[in-house]
Structure 1
Amino acid sequence: MPDTPRPASVSFSEFEPISTAAWQARIARDLKGADPATLRWQTPDGFTVEPFYHREALAALPEVPAPLLRPDTNGNTWRNVPTYSVPAGERGHATIQKAAEALARGADGAHFVLADATTFDVEFLHAHLPLDTTYIGYSLTGAPTAFVQRLLDTGTITLRGFLEFDPITNHLPNLKSQLHELRETLTLTQGMPEFRALTLQAAFYGNRGATVTQQVAFALATAAAYLSELPTETLTTAQVAAAMWVHVAINPNYFFEIAKLRALRRLWATLLHAYGLPSEVALPLFAETSSWSQTTLDAHTNLLRVTTEAMSAVLGGVDALSIRPFDCLFHDPNEFSNRLARNLSVLLREEVGLGQVQDVAAGSYYLETLTDTLAQEAWTLFQRIEAEGGLPTAIGTVMQELHTTAQAQFRRIATGEQVVVGTNKFQNTREHFDFNPKKLLRSREFDSTRATYPSEVLRLATSLHFERREKKKKRAAVVLLGSHTNQLIQESFLRLMPKQEQSALHDSHPVGTLSVLFSSTEEAILMYATPEQFGRFARYIYRIAEDDSTFVPPVLITADLATMQEAVRVFGFQEFTVQGYTTEEVLARLQGK
C-alpha cells in the first residue's frame, strides 16, 4: 500500500564501534588487576567458555552458517503439543476429551503416551480429533505396524503427527524383529509427508543427566544405525531419512540448550552428506521440558524452570513443544497445572511474540561460537562411538558415559557447586507438602531418575517422623538411598563426623552394597546392606513370604522402633552413627541448611 510507513533501518549509527581491544581493556580495568582468565569456566561437556566474545569470534569459525529459515506452521513457528499418558487397560476416552478441549484453548496438537496401544480406542479418537487434520503423536512400547494400521482402518487416508518407537535407544529385546517392524511401519506410512514414523529419542539421555554434547552425539549414533540397518531394495536410505524426527528434552541451561538444537540440525546435514543424501532433508524437532530438572521440593520453582526451558526450545527452532505440568511428579493430571503448562506456550507466542522472529541466535558471537564448539565435540564423540562398532554394539560405552556424567552432576548438587533453587539453596524450611511423602516414595511411578532425587529423598522420607504425632508413636524409618547416588549423601554424612574418623569410615563402604539411612527420633544411622539383605529385611518387616516373586522392596520402610531395631540386628547391617545430634539436626545439615 502506498500509505504504508517504510521501516526505518536499524543500524545504531549513533554509537561508536568498539574494538575487541577496547572491550578487553575495560574488562581488565573493572577486574582491578585480577587476571581476566579467572573468568573462564569449564563446562560439564569438557571445554572452556570464555567470559567475552566479539566479532573476531565469528571470523575464527570455519564458516558462519546462514540463519535457519523455514515456513511457518499454521501461521506460527512451533506447535503447542501437550502430552497425555494413557495407563494400561484404559481406552483413553477421558484423556482424548481433555485433548480435544485443549485444542479449543490454545493447543495445536496432542501427544499420547500409550502404556498399552492395543486397548486405545482409535475410533473414539478419530471421532473427536480427526486424524487427517489433527497433529497427533503416539508413543508406543511395541507393535507399531499394527497400531498404524488401526489408525488407517478408521478411514483416514493420511496421518499428521508422529510415531515414537525407538527400539535401539530403549534397549528393546529381539532387535532384529523390532527393525523388521519398523520397516513395515515406514512402508505403510510412505506418502504421508506430515507424519514421521521413525524416532530418535534423545530425550532418553537428556532426562538421565547427559550433557548436551552427549545428547547430540547419541542421537546421531542412533540415526546412523537406522540409516545403515533399515534400508532394503524397496525402502531407500532417503525414505528412511525422510521419516526421522527427534524427541529432545530441554533443561534449564538456557544458552546451551539453544546451541544444542542448532548443533543438532547442523550435524544432521553432515550425517546426510556422509550417506550421500541432500542436506535439505529436514529433521523435525519435538521438544519436551525435562523431567531431569524437576523437583518435589518447593515445586512451584518448576514453573520458572519450564519457562526458561520453553524459551530455549522456541529460540532454538523446535517444530513442536510439550511443557510438563509443574506438579506432575507428585499429583495426578489436573486442570490447574495442565492449563498453566498449555498457556505458557500460548503466552510466549501471543504476548512475547517469539514466533515473529526466525533463528534469533543467528550472528550472535557467543551462540554461534558455542554452537560450533558443541557440534565439533559431539561429532568427535559420535565418531568414537562409530569406531567401537556404532549402536547397538557400543551401547555399553554410551551407558557408561551417561552414568559418569549423571554421577558428576549428583555430586555437584550434593556439594552445592550446582545450585537447585529450593532444594540445595534458598530452601523453604517451613514447606508443608500437599502430598503424602511416604506414599510417594513407595509409589513405583515416582521418578527417581532426576538430578535432585538424592537430595529430596532424605527430606521426603523423614518429614513425617518429625511430626509430633509420629514421635509419640516412637516409629522409625529405613530409607533406601541406592547403590551409586547414595555415595554422595554418604560424603555429606561423613563431613559431620570428627576429621580423624572420616578417612576410615569413607573406606569402610563395602563394594557392591546399598546404602540405607535408619531414622528414628533420637538418631540417624547410615548403614550398608547387600541387595539380598535389604530384600530379606523388607520381607521381614512386611511379613512377605520368600516365594512371593511379585514383591518389590520399597524405597521407604516404616515400622515401630523396636521392630526396626530388632530387624537391623538380625540382618547384620554395618552401620555408624552420628553422636550428639538429633535426627532432625543431622538431616538439616545434610540438606545444607
Structure 2
Amino acid sequence: MADTPRSTPVSFSEFDSISTAAWQERISRDLKGADPATLEWHTNEGFTVQPFYHREALADLTPAVVTTDAARAWLNIPTYAVGAADKGHKAIDLAADALSRGADGIYFDLVDAPAFDVNYLHEKLPLATTYLGFSVRLGALAFVERLLATGTAGLRGFLRFDPVTDHTPDLPQQLASLRKIISLTRHLPEFRALTLNGAFFANRGGTITQQIGFTLAAAATYLEQLPSEDVSVAEVAAAFQVQVALNPNYFFEIAKLRALRRLWATLLHTYGLPPEAAAALRLFAVTSTWSQTTLDPHTNLLRVTTETMAAVLGGANAVSVAPFDQLYQSPNEFSSRLARNLPIILREESGLNRVADPAAGSYYLETITDQLAREAWATFQRVEAAGGLPSAIGMVLQELHTVAQSQFQRIAAGEQVIVGTNRFQNPQEHFDYNPKRLLRSKEFDSTRAAYPSEVLRLATALHFQRREKKRRRAAVVLLGTHTNQLILESFLRLLPTQERLALKASHPEGTLSVLFSTPEAATLMYATPDQFGHFARVVCRVPVDEPDFIPPTLLTADLATMQEAVSLFGFKEFNVEGYSTEDVLARLQGRR
C-alpha cells in the first residue's frame, strides 16, 4: 500500500571486509600457541571440516542446480506396511484417517502386491485425487494394470519398483515389466513410475558418498537398458524419483540431497538430456531405520526430527516419518500421531515451507555439498568401471559391509555415540516390550547401527529377570558374529584409563558370541559357527540331516540339558583378566 513505510536496507558498510587469511591469523592469535588443526573435525566420511568457512571458499565451487519450488511444496506422507497375504483393509482405513488429520498422501509398503485389494483402496481413497505411493518387489506390472483397471481418470503418486537395487530375480523380465509400466503411465504427469530405492544403501550403514554413488549407478543401468522403440530415454528420465533415507548427521544430510541433485544433472547430461530434465527430479525422503534404537526409544523422536528438517532444507519433495516405536511394536495411535504431526509442525509452526533452498549460499553447506558431489561421482565411476549394476553388486555389498562393521567398532569403543544405547544410558530402563519375544522375532531388524549393543543389553536383561524368578531353566542367546571384540571394547571403555591400557585380551576371529544364562549366573562365551549349529540342533531336537534348519537367536531348555550341551560342544568362556562375567555384564548394563 502507498502509506506503508519502506524498510531501511541493512548495511554494514562501516565494517571492513576481512579475508580468510586475516581470520586464520586471528584464530591463531586467540589460540595462544595451540595448533589450529586441533579445531578440525575429521568425519567418518573421510572429510576434514574446518572450524570456520568464509565467502572466499565459494569461488572455486561448482554452481548448484536450481530447482523449481522443490523446498516449498513438500508433502507429508506416512508409511503403512502391508504384510504377506494381507488385503490391506486395515492399513487403508488407517490411511484414510491419517488423510483427514493432516497427511498429504500415503505410502503403502507392500510385501504381497497380488493380495492387496485395489478396489477397496479406490473406494476409500479415490486414486485420481489422492497422492499414493506403492512399494512393490514382484508383480509390479500386474499391480499397475489393476490400478488402471479401476476406471480412474489418472493416478497421483509413485511406484517404487527397483529390481536392480532390490536384487529381484530374473532381471531381464523385470526390466521388460518396468518398460511396459512406463509406457502405460506416460500420460500421467503426476505419477512417477520409476522410484529408485536409494534408502537401501543408507539403511545398511553406507557412507553418504556411497549412497549417492550407488544410487546413480542404479539409475545409469535403467537409462542404459530401458529405452526402446516404445520408450525414449527422455521418458525414462521423466519417470524417475529417488527415495532417500536420512540419518541424524544434520548438515551432511542436507548436503547429501543437494549433491544428489547436482550429480543428477551431470548424469542426465551424459545421455543428452537438457538441464530442465534434471530439475524435474523428485526426492522422497524417509527417516532411516539404520539410526533407530529399541533402547531409550523416545530418543528416536529427536532423531527423526533432525532427519526430517534436513530433508526439507535439503530440497525433498515429500517426507515420511517413521513412528519412534516401530522396531518393537505394531502401529498405534500415539506414536503414529506424533510421526504424522512432526512434519506439520515444521511446516505450519516453523515455516520451513516458505523459503526455496534456504541452505543456498551457506559457506559451510556449499563447501561440503561440493566435496560430497566430487567424492560420490568418483564412487559412481568406480562402480561403472567394475561393470556397473548389477554386475558389481558383490563389490557394492562388500563395501557396505565393511563400513557397517567399522561403525559397529566405533560404537563399541564409544567413538560414535548413540544416545541412550552406548552413551547416556538409562540404567533403570523398563522395556515396553518383551525382550525374549523381540529377540526371537524374525521381524526384529538386525541391520541397524545399534543392533550389537541392543542384543547384549536385551540378553542380559533377560538373565537378570530369570535370576529374580529363580526358575531352574537356562538360555543361550546368540549375540552374533564380530561381537567378541565389540563387547571387549565396550567394557574397556568403562574402565579408568590406566586400567584400560593395562588390560589385554584376545579371542579367536570368526567366532560367534553367546550369552549362557542360568538362574544363578550369566556367562559370556564364544563358539565356532559349527559348534553353535550342532548345539542348536541338539537343544531344538532337529535331525542332523535336516537341510533347512536355521539356528534361532534365543534357545531355552532345562538347566541340566543346557549345561551338558554347552560342555559337550566346547563353548569357551569370554574372560577379561581380573573381571568376572558378572562384572562385565553389570558394567555394560550401567549398574556399576
TM-score scaled by length of structure 1: 0.93
Offset at residue 577 of structure 1 (A): 3.7
**Match in the other structure for 1:524:** 523
Amino acid at match of 1:525: L
Name 1:476's counterpart in structure 2.
474
Cα distance in 1 for residues equivalent to 2:261 and 2:53? 23
Question: Counterpart in 2 of 1:585?
Answer: 583
Pairing 1:52-71 to 2, within 5 Å after superposition: 52-61=52-61, 63-65=62-64, 67-70=66-69
More displaced 10-residue stretch of structure 1: 456-465 or 552-561 = 552-561
Are 1:38 and 2:38 matched, yes or no?
A: yes
The corresponding residue for 1:103 is 99
Q: CA deviation at 1:37?
A: 1.3
The match for 2:165 among 145, 162, 169 is 169
Task: Kindly provide the amino acid, as one letter, of the partner of residue 241 in structure 2.
Answer: W
Q: What is the deviation of 1:481?
A: 2.2
**1:229 to 2:196 alignment:** no
Deviation, structure 1 residue 399: 1.1
Quote the residue 1:566 is aligned against: 564
Cα RMSD, aligned residues only = 2.3
Please list, as runs of the form range in 1=range in 2, the aligned pairs for 1:140-151 lying within 5 A after superposition: 140-151=136-147
Tell me what 1:275 maps to: 271
Output aligned runs, 1:176-255, within 5 Å.
176-255=172-251
- TM superposition shift of 1:87: 1.2
Letter in 2 for 1:552: I
Helix, strand or coil: the match of 2:328? Answer: coil
Query: Match of 1:481, SS?
Result: strand
Query: CA–CA distance in 2 between the matches of 1:498 and 1:264?
Result: 43
Give distance in 1, aligned partners of 2:214 and 2:4. 50
- Segment drifting more, 240-249 vs 571-580: 571-580
Per-residue CA distance 1:381-435 (angstroms, 9 max, x = gap): 1111111111111112111111111111111110000111111111000001011
Which amino acid counterpart does residue 112 of structure 2 have in structure 1? D
Q: What is the aligned counterpart of 1:340 among 338, 341, 344?
A: 338
Q: Deviations over 1:291-343 (max 9, x none)?
A: 00001111100000000001000000100000010000111100000000000
Partner of 2:109, secondary structure, is: strand
Q: 1:88: Cα distance to partner?
A: 1.1
1:390 and 2:381 are equivalent in the alignment: no
Is the Cα contact below 8 Å between 2:484 and 2:526 reproduced in 1?
Answer: no
Q: Is the alpha carbon distance of 1:176 and 1:79 closer, same or farther for their aligned partners in structure 2, counting shifts above 3 Å?
A: same
Separation (CA, whole Å) in 2 of partners of 1:455 and 1:564: 25
User: 1:403 and 2:401 equivalent?
Assistant: yes
Cα separation, 2, equivalents of 1:5 and 1:117: 61
Shift of 1:575: 3.9
Say which is worse superposed, 227-236 or 551-560, in terms of deviation: 551-560
Partner of 2:356: 358
Identity %: 66
1:10 offset after TM fit, Å?
Answer: 4.4
Note closer, same or farther for the CA distance 1:10–1:145 as it changes in structure 2 (3 Å cut).
farther
Change (3 A) 1:414 1:500: closer
Spell out, residue by residue over 1:539-583, the C-alpha distance to the aligned partner (whole angstroms, 9 max, x if none). Answer: 322334445566532212233332211111222334444576554
Q: Report if the CA contact (8 A) 2:65-2:262 is conserved.
A: no
State the match for 2:129 in structure 1. 133
2:440 alignment partner in structure 1: 442
Between the aligned partners of 2:500 and 2:204, the Cα distance in structure 1 is: 35
Per-residue CA distance 1:88-124 (angstroms, 9 max, x = gap): 1121111111111111111000000111111111111
Change (3 A) 1:314 1:154: same
**SS of equivalent to 1:473:** coil
The alpha carbon displacement at 1:184 in A equals 1.2
Measured after TM superposition, the shift of residue 178 of structure 1 is 1.2
CA distance in 1, matches of 2:523, 2:563: 12
User: Aligned with 2:353: secondary structure?
Assistant: helix
The letter for the 2-side match of 1:362 is A
Q: CA deviation at 1:57?
A: 0.4
State whether residues 414 and 490 of structure 2, in contact with CA within 8 Å, keep that contact through their aligned partners in structure 1. Answer: no
Amino acid across the alignment from 2:353: G
In structure 2, give the amino acid aligned to 1:589.
Answer: R
Once the 2 structures are TM-superposed, how far is the Cα of residue 11 of structure 1 from its aligned partner? 4.3
Deviation for aligned residue 1:470: 4.3
| Structure 2 unaligned residues grouped into runs of 5+ | none
Give 2:424's aligned residue. Answer: 426
SS of match in other structure, 1:354: coil
Deviation of 1:491 (Å): 4.5
Offset from partner CA, 1:501-550 (integer Å, 9 cap, x none): 845x33x33x4x433232344342321222x4323322322334445566
- Give the secondary-structure state (helix, strand or coil) at the position aligned to 2:275: coil
- Does the C-alpha gap of structure 1 residues 501 and 342 become closer, same or farther in structure 2, counting only changes over 3 Å? closer
Q: Is the 8 A contact 2:70 2:315 kept in 1?
A: no
Summarize the Cα distance change of 1:331–1:272 in structure 2 as closer, same or farther, 3 Å threshold.
same
- Pick closer, same or farther for the CA change 1:340–1:494 going to 2, 3 Å: closer
Matching of residues 292-307 of structure 1 within 5 Å: 292-307=290-305
What letter is aligned with 1:28?
Answer: S
1:397 is paired with a residue whose SS is helix
- C-alpha deviation, 1:132, in angstroms: 0.8
2:317 to 319, 339, 345: 319
Local SS of the residue matching 2:476? strand
Deviates more, 1:249-258 or 1:404-413: 404-413
Instruction: Give 1:29 deviation, angstroms.
Output: 3.5
d(CA) in 1 for partners of 2:64, 2:10: 22
Per the alignment, in what secondary structure is the counterpart of residue 319 of structure 2? Answer: strand
**Once the 2 structures are TM-superposed, how far is the Cα of residue 186 of structure 1 from its aligned partner?**
1.1
Residue 529 of structure 1 aligns to which amino acid in structure 2?
T
Letter in 2 for 1:385: V
